Chains A and B, each alone.
Chain A
Amino acid sequence: MLSYIFRRILQSILVLLVVGLVAFAMFTFIGDPIDNMLGQERTQDDIDRLRGELGLDQPFVVQYVKFILSALQGNFGVSYEQGRPVAQILAERAPATLELAAVSAVFALSLGVVLGVYTAIRRKGFVANLVLTLSLIGVSLPTFLIGILLIYLFSVQLDWLPSFGRGETVALGGWTTGFLTSSGLTALILPSITLGLYQMTLIMRLVRSEMMEVMRQDYIRFARARGLPERVITFRHALKNTMVPVITVTGLQLGSLIAFAIITETVFQWPGMGLLFINAIQFVDIPVMAAYLMLISVMFVGINLIVDLLYVAIDPRLRT
């Protein structure tokens, strides 16, 4: 067991190193930061000088090794665009993304479970089938379009909700939160629906099929035979047993919520890490891109590692 954990952690570190290497290999292809950094009246001399200063004239492997060495000392470099330490920028942006992801996850989980249970119980019902079909509409359109349509409807036409941004935020130590102001809370509604819609559908379908499977189990039949009320059977027995896979999947999805908030953040000008990343691509801000990718991979690899270790702890057969 110990050697398995050790091996697994070693592998995870390797994964991180490879992610970094691939990332740096890519950066040479996505554009040139120089033009963004120098103005209209730059000369070839300026271009060469700046390239030398930034180390862009070196092969990507050298750039990568430099990045890793300073990253190990907690230094992720300085943003080309903002001229500030990347770690500081990411720390500023993280609360926005994490709060958005958390609200989306809660939205997806709660509505997904409720609708999943409902559609499982009323399997042949008209409403249940309508819900199932409608939920598919949400995942049959690209996210950016859903976001723009929501803005059009709820901000421009009805004027109920803000069209962009986080509203007013309150600083608690190093963390800015939108949970404590009414404008902060209303600003969360549209983006979290946009971001959580896909996960909501996914969870709903998962709950539905797990429920339908559990309901066929013998112990549910016995419970029915014993004359327990249907409500007790549904919630106390069936739902409880479906929650393990549902929570596992939600946990895994939380990672992708954060990673793929990019589109939602762009549409809603949500000042999180995804928007930062998109800006960084447009500016070819290599230190920001590198740090963001490393952060996301740490998260993914970490979640995977925990899930795998948990599985092994539960099911010894998988240890081979």
Chain B
Amino acid sequence: MSVFHRFWDSDFAWDFRHSPVAVVSFLVALLLVLSALFAPLIATINPFEPGNLNLMNGFTAPGTQNAFTGESFILGTDDQGRDVYSTILYGMRISLFVGFAAVALGMLIGVTLGLVAGYFGGWTDAIIMRIADVQLTFPSILVAMLIFGVAKGFTPVEYRDQLAIWVLILSIGLSDWVQFARVVRGATLVEKQKEYVQAARLIGRGAMPILVRHILPNVLSPVLVIATISLALAIIAEATLSFLGVGAPSTQPSLGTLIRIGQNYLFSGEWWILFFPSATLLALALSVNLLGDWLRDALNPKLK
């Protein structure tokens, strides 16, 4: 209780409560995450189970009755006769999972390498930052294709169907770490000149404890801001990769795959196949972006 109270009374929480944009976007994001989490409970069918689908339900408009099967669907159906509403819920799970996991991976690699590069300097720094250069050169689509190719060679056939998701996480995470590394490296460079770090060094503390106990906490707030914005970017990147043909499999579509499929029906009049997944993606990415924006201002004391 007291922890909660202390948090509620903190500047951070006060700031939050008095920013309607932050509150609304937080609620929207929360709602979306929760509905993805509880998709099996609130969806009408499991669209990832091919046996549940009836092709003859295909292209039913929202709220209308299908001419052959007589069934109707609140947000309509797509080309496979999948209920768009349920598919969005399940698809959002994939998108969020890929997003969170990719950002976590990018953050882990980036923060570690950034700390190491900034703290040790010299050749270590040079090697890490040049690896970052190499990384920047490779468009994420190529990274995705490479990892996919390599992974295919090494995964036992039973796990092949899970492969695409992990490939997406790896490739987005790998294209993501550079910005974490750069920011953390910069902050570490500044931080290690400060007296407390110099003092800790003088009394003979090792590099690990200094990095973890002293420097890391002080570089965390920019990392948090980047992580939030990266989450939105990762979800969108997943959609883009899907457009280029290396996305989630169409039998288990993510939001991005749904949009890629839906854009084929923009001209043909089946607007709902594109509109609802896009609107969901927009709501998700926008609320996360707005939260990130607010976070950046809230954590930057200079702007108060």
Contacts and interface: CB of A to CB of B under 8 A. Distances in A.
A144 B240 contact: yes
B136, B259, B267, B303 — which one has the most chain A CB atoms within 10 A of its CB? B136
B244 A137 contact: no
B134 A19 contact: yes
B142 A142 contact: no
B194 interface: no
Interface stretch (B29-37, B203-211, B285-293): B285-293
Interface string A262-275: 11001000000000
- Main SS class of interface, A: helix
Contacts of A140: 232, 236, 281-282, 285-286, 289
Contacts of A232: none
A231 B170 CA distance: 49
Interface string A249-262: 00000001001101
B2 interface: no
Contacts of B286: 133, 136-137, 140
B278 interface: yes
A142 B137 contact: no
Interface stretch (A36-44, A61-69, A169-177, A293-301): A293-301
B126 A142 contact: no
A277 to B, nearest CB: 8
Interface in A77-115: none
B63 interface: no
B243 interface: yes
Contacts of A145: 239, 259, 263, 278
Given A11-B126, A141-B236, A263-B240, A148 B137 contact: no
Interface in A104-137: 129, 132-133, 136-137
Interface in A49-85: none
A278 interface: yes
B175 to A, nearest CB: 11
A223 interface: no
B71 interface: no
A148 B133 contact: no
Interface string B272-304: 000000100110011001100100100010110
Interface stretch (B3-11, B54-62, B109-117, B144-152): B144-152
B267 to A, nearest CB: 7
B302 A15 contact: no
Nearest to A298: B137
A30 B232 CA distance: 28
B160 interface: no
B21 interface: yes
B200 interface: no
A256 B178 CA distance: 14
Contact of A148 (B146, B236, B263, B293): B263
A186 interface: no
A11 B130 contact: yes
A182 B278 CA distance: 34
A272 B121 CA distance: 40
Interface residues of A, number: 49
A22 B263 CA distance: 34
Interface in A1-50: 7, 11-12, 14-15, 18-19, 22, 25-26, 28-30
A301 B300 CA distance: 31
B148 A29 contact: yes
A140 B287 CA distance: 9
Contact of B289 (A139, A142, A263): A139
B141 interface: yes
Interface of A: 7, 11-12, 14-15, 18-19, 22, 25-26, 28-30, 129, 132-133, 136-137, 139-145, 148, 152, 156, 205, 209, 212-213, 216, 256, 259-260, 262-263, 266, 278, 281, 293, 296-297, 300-301, 304, 318, 320
18 contacts: A11-B126, A15-B134, A19-B134, A22-B138, A26-B145, A29-B149, A136-B290, A136-B293, A139-B289, A140-B236, A140-B282, A141-B278, A144-B240, A145-B259, A209-B300, A212-B303, A293-B138, A297-B134
Interface of B: 21, 121, 126, 130, 133-134, 136-139, 141-142, 145-146, 148-150, 152-153, 189, 232, 236, 239-240, 243-244, 256, 259, 263, 266-267, 278, 281-282, 285-286, 289-290, 293, 296, 300, 302-303
Given A145-B278, A278-B244, 12 more contacts: A18-B130, A26-B145, A137-B286, A139-B289, A140-B281, A140-B282, A141-B285, A142-B256, A143-B240, A262-B139, A293-B138, A301-B137
